[in-house]
Amino acid sequence: MVKVITDDSLANLPTVAIAAKIDAMAAQGKGRDLLDYLPEQFYGYHGRSSGEINRIKGYTFAAFLKTGLPDEAIPFVLDELENGLDAYLVAGAARALRGLNHALPAASSYLIKAFYNMLFMDDALSFESFNVKYPLSSYTTPLSEILETMKWLKVEDKHTLDALEKVYAVHQNILSKSAKTLLLETIELSRPHISVENDCCAIPLHAPVHTFIHKRRMRREVQEQVRLEDQDEQALSYNDFFTSGFTVLIFFYTRCDNPNKCSLSVSRFSRLQYLLEEKRLNQIRLAGITYDAGYDVSSRLKSYGDNRGFAFNRQQRFFRVTSGFETLRSYLNLGVNYAGSVVNNHAIELYILDKKGNVKVAQTRLQWNPEEIRDILISLLSKKESVSIRKVLRIAGNTLSGILIAFFPKCPVCWAGYMSLFGAIGLQSIPYTPQLFYVVLMGMLLNLYVNYRTCRKKNIRNAFYINVLGCFLVITGYLWKFQFAIYGGIVALLISSMYINLSGIFQSLFRNKNNQRIWLSQETGRQFRSTELQDLKLK
């Protein structure tokens, strides 16, 4: 996992000083150290312009050709090839792939996308040093770097070869002489290796799926501090919307100047909305949150969604965060950075949250597919139903055991009470020693402590109070030889046991006016670790 450097001093370093650090790491072959410069949250990007960030990141990508490209950097490289529109950054990403120590045929489709992105933006540039002097004596271009990398990969699938031949047939008149030569060389080198069965487009490529560990304290801070305003200027808290079931959440902002990111994400969100309606999955909530709350007022959010086919309703809304954004940003580790209040760098981000606000799936960087997200949601819903059935069976089993424990005699006095109640035998027929009372007393206190822990976790303290009452009545009934107190204690223990074991059912039956559970669920307070549904599949 790529870490995020949190050193404030980096934000104050001149750009050339950061470039010098990159040169030093490249000279020493420290490719893994260069990973720290890739995340959008990198502190060295705070307060800088987008142009400066593109230069630093592009120069970092190019350095991987010397140091070797770690596998952890591949999603960042593919992200720029698929979505990038800056010539320097895309050229650096294409060059970085040649630092791999293994073949990556699946990258061919991303290089084709990058080729089309750069087709009318090809420009002379150099990675020889960070501060180059013009005119350039030797230079490269984004298209040259892309084609050099495709030659290095040795394209092996027919789909990519067909795409290259189409590019040459349609666009040869606008390609530079060097780009045209490289394109023809790539096509000729690829033809002997083509296999119809080896089709890279049959290889599913997914955005990296993160693993999250959510602590109760972090979740509580988000629920308490985050306040929202939707596209209709309705103010609400985080809990009002995000704790009633599964929610698909995307991040965007209306001033984004890259059509491959925010605009496309919202358009695909509209497509996902249609797919969910088609499957009658109306219980799924859809939410979009802007990175730019100061500029994206409610009217802008509504207009942005309307223009991209998103249908707003109570279950499907866009929000701006009016307070607590830094808490939410830290909770989700959002891939965004700022220069003042202006977004200067951000990733594509989609999250699927459960009813507690925990992240079940996080697809970031690479463009996500609405059909795949729909299928993941269907899988999560079916899993939830099966888990609920198992939980009901477990509650039933625990209830039965609770009833048996409550009625089972825990001491001779209780046994006498039972037998007297049913008219079977009397107290004098049971052999008893005084020391047995203290053993039973210790067992009862231990059971009381266990019940206290359980009731505290489930937030059902009334059950614990009833349990204390039952123990008190049994003990006092024994000491003062008052059988009705013993019977009352047994009944109290029975009620307490049923209360504890049936609380899960009560939680699902009784809800407050916001359709939220009155009691905390049984799992509240535990750490939650999401399971990675899919890794980036590389072949």
> How far from 482 is each of 75, 259, 295, CA to CA, in Å?
74, 81, 74
Angle, helices 325-332 vs 216-225, to 10°: value is: 150
What mean pLDDT is predicted for residues 498-502? 67
Mention every residue, 6+ apart, whose C-beta is less than 8 A from residue 472. 489
CB 75 within 8 A of CB 368: no
If one compares 292 and 535, the residue with the highest pLDDT of the two is 292
- Say yes or no: 316 and 405 in one domain: no
* pLDDT exceeds 60 at position 88: yes
Residue 396 scores a pLDDT above 60 = no
pLDDT per residue as tens digits for the range 122-162:
999 999 999 888 887 889 999 999 999 998 988 777 888 88
**Residues 198 and 236 grouped into a single domain:** no
pLDDT grade, residue 385 (50/70/90)?
low
Please tell me which of 404-408, 467-471, 521-525 the model is most confident about, judged by mean pLDDT: 467-471
Q: Which of 281-285, 356-360, 388-392, 443-447 has the highest mean pLDDT?
A: 281-285
The annotation status of 210 as a binding-site residue, yes or no, is: no
Residue 504, pLDDT > 60, answer no
Residue 533 domain-assigned? no
Q: What is the pLDDT of residue 127?
A: 94
- The whole-angstrom separation of Cα 357 and Cα 219 is 7
Q: Is the pLDDT of residue 374 over 80?
A: yes
Whether 201 has a binding-site annotation, put simply, is no
The Cα 4–Cα 36 span in angstroms is 6
Q: Would you say residue 199 has pLDDT above 50?
A: no
Share of the chain above pLDDT 70, in %: 75
- Model confidence band, residue 437 (pLDDT cutoffs 50, 70, 90): low
Q: In this structure, are 357 and 402 located in the same domain?
A: no
Residue 184 and residue 333 in one domain: no
Residues 225 and 355 in one domain: yes
Amino acid at 368: W
Q: Please give the C-alpha separations between residue 412 and each of 298, 365, 422, in angstroms, as whole numbers.
A: 71, 68, 15
| pLDDT band per the 50, 70, 90 thresholds, residue 463 | confident
Confidence of residue 483 (pLDDT cuts 50, 70, 90): confident
Q: What 3-state DSSP class applies to 269?
A: helix
Q: Is the pLDDT of residue 411 over 60?
A: no
Q: What is the pLDDT of residue 384?
A: 60
Most confident of 85-99, 369-383, 385-399, 412-426: 85-99
Beta bridge partners of residue 235, listed in sequence order: 229
With bands split at pLDDT 50, 70 and 90, how would you rate the model's confidence at 390? Answer: low
If asked whether residues 341 and 424 sit together in one domain, one would say: no
Token pair of 207 as six digits: 């955005």
pLDDT for res 339: 93
pTM over cut 0.85? no
d(CA 371, CA 477): 67
Residue 342: CB atoms within 10 Å: 14
Radius of gyration for the alpha carbons in the chain, expressed in angstroms and rounded: 32
Residues 36 and 107 placed together within one structural domain of the fold: yes
Give pLDDT, residue 493: 77
- Looking at mean pLDDT, say which of 1-5, 181-185, 484-488 comes out highest: 181-185
Q: Count CB-CB contacts under 10 A for residue 311.
A: 12
pLDDT higher than 60, residue 80: yes
DSSP for residue 200: G
Checking if the pLDDT of 435 tops 80, the result is: no
Last residue of a domain, one of 182, 202, 222: 202
What is the rounded average pLDDT of the residues 15-40? 94
- Is 382 inside any structural domain? no
Q: Are residues 156 and 240 in the same domain?
A: no
pLDDT of residue 414: 52
Write out the residue range of the structural domain in which residue 52 sits.
8-202
Q: Which residue intervals of 137-251 are DSSP H helices?
A: 142-153, 158-171, 177-190, 216-225, 238-242
Number of folded domains in the chain?
3
User: Do 143 and 56 reside in the same domain of the chain?
Assistant: yes
Q: Are residues 113 and 61 in the same domain?
A: yes
Average pLDDT over residues 412-430: 45
| % the chain with pLDDT above 90 | 48
- Per the domain annotation, does 208 fall within a domain? no
Give the C-alpha distances (Å, rounded to integers) separating 28 from 23, 70, 114, 495: 9, 15, 30, 71
**pLDDT at residue 484 in the model:** 78
- For residues 344 and 399, state if they share a domain: no
Asked if residue 83 lies in contact with residue 260, where contact means CB atoms within 8 angstroms, the answer is: yes
Rounded to an integer, the average pLDDT of 364-381 is 93
Residue 186 lies in a domain: yes
Tell me which of 12 and 332 has the higher pLDDT: 332
Average pLDDT score over residue span 421-449: 58
Average pLDDT across the chain, whole number: 79
Q: Tell whether the model's pLDDT for residue 395 goes beyond 50.
A: no
In the chain, count H helices and then E strands.
19, 11
Q: What's the rounded Cα separation, in Å, for the pair 146 and 143?
A: 5
Task: List beta partners, residue 511.
Answer: 517
Residue 381 falls within a domain, yes or no?
A: no
- Widest distance between CA atoms in the chain: 111
What is the rounded distance in angstroms from the CA atom of residue 215 to the CA atom of residue 195?
A: 49
Nearest of 201, 199, 196, 100 to residue 153 by alpha carbon = 100
Are residues 159 and 217 part of one domain? no
| Distance from chain centroid for Cα 151 | 36
Lowest mean pLDDT among 139-148, 424-433, 478-487: 424-433
Query: Is the confidence at residue 523, as pLDDT, over 70?
Result: no
What angle, rounded to 10 degrees, do the helices at 177-190 and 142-153 form?
A: 10
Q: Is 307 helix (H, G, I), strand (E, B) or coil?
A: coil
411 has binding-site annotation: no
Q: Which residues contact 519 (CB under 8 A, 6 or more apart)?
A: 458, 459, 460, 503, 506, 507
CB 240 within 8 A of CB 223: no
CATH of the domain at 286: 3.40.30.10
pLDDT at residue number 424: 41
Residue of higher predicted confidence among 247 and 160:
247
What's 427's DSSP letter?
Answer: G
* In the predicted structure, residue 399 carries a pLDDT above the cut 80: no
The size of the chain, in residues, is: 539
516 occurs within a structural domain: no
Per-residue confidence at 515, pLDDT binned at 50, 70, 90?
very low
Which whole-number Å values give the CA distances from 252 to 222, 304, 334, in the listed order? 19, 10, 11
Whether residue 402 lies inside any domain: the answer is yes
Our CA dihedral for 258, 264, 265, 268, rounded to 10 degrees, sits at 180
For residue 57, tell me if it sits in a domain: yes
Task: Please say if the pLDDT value at position 512 is more than 90.
Answer: no
Taking the C-alpha atoms of residue 334 and residue 349, their distance in angstroms, rounded to an integer, is 8
Average pLDDT over residues 264-274: 97
**Which residues, in sequence order, are CB contacts of 289 under 8 Å at separation 6+?**
228, 249, 250, 251, 252, 318, 319, 320, 321, 328
